[in-house]
């Protein structure tokens, strides 16, 4: 790993207790704002203050290709990854639209696109030109995995220096639902079939092929369930970068709004590496990908939204971000019964 994250220890729960008690002094029936109150308590816990702030948010989109795309597991050709990176750079993707809406700093990081990316503003942190085809060999070496984790750490450090108080992590990479399904199946030692979805829109016959490719690869690679070995064997460079970013965010006590299936699998790997990472994670939405519900359950996570989305890019997390702002405003700005002269 790029650094020793074992020193990240569970956060003190004092602020959770104080925040919960303070919420009950505000001018509302106790618990009447439901999960918004839970969200406020979580943000107080993460940021270690009763007046949390999440503005300005930072969005980081990690882009990488997957060698397993050679097996015909995606509805789109691999060239789309680089094309979409150019679209991100030009501000034309869904995540760009949502980033403007929430006034977020957005950064696009090439951690492993197979072709040269010639787009202004894209951070060149390419570890290699896509992973190897894990149907035939390990996706990456241990050294390459370390590099990809460090790319995520570096992105968090840039966002923190820019003043970001909350992070949204997104991804782009043709065949990354294949890698994510393989990683999830290995981490949880679960059958592959129920975890695999259509991704970008596979028809049923090709979905069966996708499942077959993953099943055979897991037998051939035999990664076990240790997260670093699983990521190296069947993971993706963008998955590793997101995991590294979550580890670094836990070290800095930065809230991370987790997007859909792929980001949640990266979160599961990060939490398996360092359990206290779970404390900084806020889960934004439930994806239409079938494996997402399983990954959320493994993390004891209940997402804020359910919109049947499966785009990735950090799009669902950006849509959920205004709820974090509302939770912060509620606990910071509402009057108490005593101050307002209202009978409790």
| Cα 329 from Cα 57, distance rounded (Å) | 15
Q: Taking the mean position of all CA atoms in its chain, how far away is CA 82?
A: 21
Contacts for 5 with CB less than 8 Å, ≥ 6 apart: 247, 250, 251, 273, 274
Cβ–Cβ < 8 Å for 196, 181: yes
Q: How far is CA 1 from CA 22, 240, 250, 252, 286, in A?
A: 40, 11, 15, 17, 30
Using DSSP's 3-state secondary structure scheme, residue 185 falls into: helix
C-alpha–C-alpha distance, residues 320 and 42, integer Å: 15
- Return the structure tokens found at 21: 């008690």
DSSP 101-134: HTT-EEEEEEEE-SS----TT-EE--SSSS---T
Residue 197 CA to its chain's centroid (Å) = 18
Distances in Å between the alpha carbon of 22 and those of 15, 39, 139, 327?
10, 14, 49, 13
Q: Which helix (H) or strand (E) segment is 219 a member of?
A: helix 204-221
SS3 content of the chain, % helix, strand, coil (to 5): 50, 10, 40
Catalytic residue among 238, 313, 333, 338: 313
- Cβ atoms of 199 and 177 within 8 Å: the answer is yes
Using only C-alpha atoms, the chain has a radius of gyration, in whole angstroms, of 20
- The question of whether 313 is a catalytic residue gets the answer yes
Residues that are catalytic: 313
């Amino acid at each position: 790993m790029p650094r020793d994250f074992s020193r990240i220890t569970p956060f003190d729960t004092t602020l959770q207790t104080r925040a919960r008690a303070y919420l009950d002094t505000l001018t509302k029936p106790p618990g009447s704002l439901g999960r918004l109150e839970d969200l406020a308590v979580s943000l107080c816990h993460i940021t270690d203050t009763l007046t949390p702030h999440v503005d300005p948010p930072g969005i980081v989109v990690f882009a990488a290709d997957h060698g397993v795309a050679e097996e015909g597991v995606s509805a789109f050709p691999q060239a789309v990854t680089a094309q979409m990176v150019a679209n991100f750079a030009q501000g034309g993707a869904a995540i760009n639209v949502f980033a403007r809406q929430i006034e977020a700093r957005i950064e696009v990081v090439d951690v492993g696109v197979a072709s040269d990316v010639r787009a202004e503003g894209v951070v060149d942190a390419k570890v290699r030109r896509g992973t190897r085809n894990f149907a035939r060999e390990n996706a990456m070496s241990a050294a390459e995995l370390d590099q990809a984790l460090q790319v995520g750490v570096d992105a968090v450090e840039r966002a923190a220096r820019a003043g970001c108080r909350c992070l949204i992590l997104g991804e782009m990479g043709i065949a990354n639902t294949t890698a994510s399904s393989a990683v999830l199946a290995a981490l949880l030692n679960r059958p592959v079939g129920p975890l695999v979805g259509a991704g970008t829109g596979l028809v049923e016959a090709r979905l069966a092929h996708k499942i077959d490719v993953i099943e055979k690869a897991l037998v051939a690679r035999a990664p076990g369930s240790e997260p670093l070995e699983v990521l190296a064997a069947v993971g993706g460079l963008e998955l590793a970068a997101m995991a590294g970013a979550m580890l670094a965010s836990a070290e800095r006590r930065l809230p991370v709004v987790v997007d859909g299936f792929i980001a949640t699998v990266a979160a599961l790997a990060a939490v398996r590496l360092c359990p206290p990472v779970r404390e900084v994670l806020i889960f934004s939405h439930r994806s239409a990908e079938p494996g997402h519900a399983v990954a959320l359950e493994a993390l004891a996570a209940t997402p804020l939204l359910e919109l049947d989305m499966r785009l990735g890019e950090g799009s669902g997390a950006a849509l959920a971000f205004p709820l974090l702002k509302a939770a912060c405003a509620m606990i910071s700005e509402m009057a108490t019964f005593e101050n307002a002269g209202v009978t409790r």
